[in-house]
Structure 1
Amino acid sequence: MKNEINIIIITPELSKEGGGGIAIYTQILAKELSLDFEVERVVTLKERAVVNRVRVLFLSIVKVFYLLNRKKRKIAHIHTAHDSSFFRKSIFVRLCKIFKTPVILHLHSPSFALSFKKKSEKQQENIRKVFKLADKVIVLSKREKEWYLDNIEKRPPLVVYNGMNDLISSSDKVSERRNTVLFLGQLGHRKGTYDLIKAFKKVLENYSDAKLTLAGDGEVDECQKLVKSLQMDNSVEFLGWIGLEKKRELLNSSKIFVLPSHQEAFPLTILEAMSTRLPIISTFVGGIPEAIENNISGLLINAGDIEALSRNILKLLNNTLLCDKIGEFARERYLTHFKLTQTTENIKKIYTELL
């Protein structure tokens, strides 16, 4: 039997395929929570065009106003990034407080600290005021919690790691997969895509049959130009944004997953790769070191270290037993800490505390 509490999830929704990390996360979270609660997912941003942004924001304010007027007990779970996203969500925080509705402000941003640092003192203080209005603040990593305590307020935020559905489709060993290096995410500097393409040139000198698969939108044209200039057209595949089933297929057929990001919060693709026993190479940024134990459940390098990136890709391609070992540890760590049901249970406990 469902709880009579109404959960209002306020979130962006970008791209024709359903969005970036926050949108994907809130979609699966809302589905899981709907088993126990009445969930309303309110989208505050759908398109990048300014006219459409204003229209969607206005309609979302109207919808939230209507939901807040209902007699049912309710909690507003507001998911935000930085800059314009935070400004939009601050409107909903204040609106909810007018109606005395408990507010959870859930921070998902790889760049919040950098954005905050660039603000004027007055802007920083306004940001602090919004956070202080929230009944609970959720961050994605212990590192982010430390930053919050140093820069926002002394009331500790709650650390709730992201969780994802299990995407494993077979018990095949990684050693039996093709020599394919997989990247999932928005192509560009922030995710380290250019570093990966350059590092892969060195990989091809040793493994001419290796393939690099890049799945995601973003700076596709620029990445294709770099691939062409390095004469790797036949070894690099651009798939664009892909759906869940294609993602599952790639994760279960590739040899290595690489996410050499320069900025991250707590990337969902890392968790998806862990769930499929895929050995991961990533960087010491954001919450990644809290997801991956270096040299145990994955290999971590400094962001921008192209030589280390190519060296670690070759290390895994050269050692199938190491691939299997790291993949098994990654799978075990996913099952222990990062299943979606675990994240959902943690969030349910927070809801209970607010009532």
Structure 2
Amino acid sequence: MKVHIWGLGYLVKSGSGNIDLDGNIVSYFKSLSQLADRLNVWIPLPKGSPLIRSEDFNINFYRTNRFFVIFSGLRLLFHSRGSHIFLFMPAASRIAIFVPLYKFFSKSLTVYLADDPYALADGLRLSKVPFVKSLYLLLIKQYLKLADRVIVRGKYLRGLASRHNENVEITVPITKLIDYKNRKLLGGQNSRFNIVTLGRLTWEKGYKILLDAYSEWLHKTDVCSNQYKLTIGGDGPDAEAIKKYVKELNLENSVAFPGWILSEESKMQFWQDADLHVLPTINTEGVPRSIDEAIINQVPTIASAIGGIPEEYANNEICQIKPNNTKALLKAFEKMVDFRNYNQYLENAKIRREYLLKLPSAAEQHFSIIQIHLS
């Protein structure tokens, strides 16, 4: 059985400067490769990046400009006959024009919906050009309707996909890494209260709001500089600009940038040392993996009430704030350093945590769905 995955996977830079595939995605690919006779993944390759190879699956790289993206969609079309195709959206929206042909030539077509594609419509580069946005929205409806099945991340996206497709499967993107019973609460192995965030370093993830609120909070509370720290895990196109902004705010001594957390051991330590998780996104989110990882690891979360977050965490499991609002985040910081509130959110998240601990990993969930539908 031949399987093609397009739209998932990206290169990340480790703290040592080495370029590699994201560790969680590699684990996902390896799990799925056990099902397929041949697993082919299609991954964007920024100019100047080295080629990465794997013994477990075949990697097809394509350049990230529009021409090469479309060309990769055509290449996938030539490989689609008799194959099972998985399109990870919204990234694969860029080749959605080929979906009817993929549907015709392939054995099956699966769409994985990780975020709200409708919410991203206004952010298109050519969204102001007449008919571009309308065409994009039409393509969304088309690929959701034509898919043999749609796998979604969370309740909110299930509702969205169910408008167009009857075969919708919900999954929870989690990675289980630690011995949960042995986690040291409040401080991990450090004496400093550690506020963490983890993701792709782009301004749309709300890092300016986070840094402004953190800076104002430190000055307002007049705390000792070594009492608190902010750890920003990840990498991305705005990483250097974000680091520059940290210097402008004179926060170098209390903000750390560990880079991508690639290994299981590194992520284990990351959550072990965390006291508070913050997700200040200002654009859109599906159901971020980091929130459930924080819940599993007994780390309370402050998150923007955006995308699928309000519906997924409707029982006050996390502290939700108005997006793109520095004052709201500042008030949330003040709220969470009161450990009565801190512990209340841990208590509120217990049912969700018990549910998550019973689930297999995201790859295993998808593996099960694939076995049912493709066997």
Normalising TM by the smaller chain, what interval? Answer: 0.7 to 0.9
Following superposition, the deviation at residue 305 of structure 1 comes to 2.3
Which of 327, 334, 343 matches 1:307? 327
- Residue 185 of structure 2 corresponds to residue 174 of structure 1: yes
The residue identity in structure 2 corresponding to 1:103 is L
Distance 1:100 1:41 in 2: 14
1:251–1:123: structure 2 CA closer, same or farther, 3 Å change rule? Answer: closer
- Residue 250 of structure 2 corresponds to residue 231 of structure 1: yes
1:225–1:135: structure 2 CA closer, same or farther, 3 Å change rule? Answer: same
Q: Deviations over 1:201-233 (max 9, x none)?
A: 233132331111111223223323332332222
TM-score by length of 2: 0.75
Which of 83, 98, 101 matches 2:104? 98
- Residue 318 of structure 2 corresponds to residue 298 of structure 1: yes
Aligned counterpart, 2:45: 46
- Residue 147 of structure 2 corresponds to residue 128 of structure 1: no
Gaps of 5+ in 1: none
Which of 208, 217, 240 matches 2:235? 217
Q: Is the 8 Å Cα contact of residues 256 and 280 (structure 1) preserved in structure 2?
A: yes
- Residue 98 of structure 2 corresponds to residue 77 of structure 1: no
Aligned counterpart, 1:13: 9
1:213–1:346: structure 2 CA closer, same or farther, 3 Å change rule? Answer: closer
Greater shift in the superposed pair: 211-220 or 94-103: 94-103
Between the aligned residues of both structures, percent identity stands at: 24
Following superposition, the deviation at residue 142 of structure 1 comes to 3.2
The residue identity in structure 1 corresponding to 2:194 is T
1:331–1:168: structure 2 CA closer, same or farther, 3 Å change rule? Answer: farther
What pairs up with 1:271-290 in 2 under 5 angstroms?
271-290=292-311
Distance 2:22 2:351 in 1: 27
Q: Is the 8 Å Cα contact of residues 102 and 135 (structure 1) preserved in structure 2?
A: yes
Tell me the SS of whatever aligns to 1:88: helix
Gaps of 5+ in 2: 15-20, 49-60
Following superposition, the deviation at residue 301 of structure 1 comes to 0.8
Greater shift in the superposed pair: 338-347 or 306-315: 338-347
Distance 2:209 2:164 in 1: 38
Following superposition, the deviation at residue 196 of structure 1 comes to 0.8
Tell me the SS of whatever aligns to 1:113: coil
Aligned counterpart, 1:87: 94
Distance 1:79 1:299 in 2: 29
Distance 1:123 1:163 in 2: 26
Aligned counterpart, 2:272: 252
1:293–1:167: structure 2 CA closer, same or farther, 3 Å change rule? Answer: farther
The residue identity in structure 2 corresponding to 1:14 is Y
Tell me the SS of whatever aligns to 2:208: helix
Q: Is the 8 Å Cα contact of residues 277 and 301 (structure 2) preserved in structure 1?
A: yes
Distance 1:292 1:222 in 2: 32
Following superposition, the deviation at residue 242 of structure 1 comes to 3.0
1:122–1:235: structure 2 CA closer, same or farther, 3 Å change rule? Answer: closer
Q: Is the 8 Å Cα contact of residues 300 and 342 (structure 2) preserved in structure 1?
A: yes
The residue identity in structure 2 corresponding to 1:252 is Q
Distance 2:116 2:207 in 1: 16
Distance 1:136 1:216 in 2: 32
The residue identity in structure 2 corresponding to 1:271 is D
Tell me the SS of whatever aligns to 2:119: helix
- Residue 136 of structure 2 corresponds to residue 115 of structure 1: no
1:224–1:121: structure 2 CA closer, same or farther, 3 Å change rule? Answer: closer
Tell me the SS of whatever aligns to 2:203: coil
Tell me the SS of whatever aligns to 2:111: strand
Q: Deviations over 1:175-218 (max 9, x none)?
A: 34340100111223321111111111233132331111111223
What pairs up with 1:185-196 in 2 under 5 angstroms?
185-196=199-210
1:340–1:41: structure 2 CA closer, same or farther, 3 Å change rule? Answer: farther
Distance 1:234 1:301 in 2: 27
The residue identity in structure 2 corresponding to 1:266 is V
Following superposition, the deviation at residue 269 of structure 1 comes to 1.6
Distance 1:144 1:12 in 2: 18
Q: Is the 8 Å Cα contact of residues 141 and 159 (structure 1) preserved in structure 2?
A: no
Q: Is the 8 Å Cα contact of residues 145 and 164 (structure 2) preserved in structure 1?
A: no
TM-score by length of 1: 0.78
Distance 2:343 2:36 in 1: 40
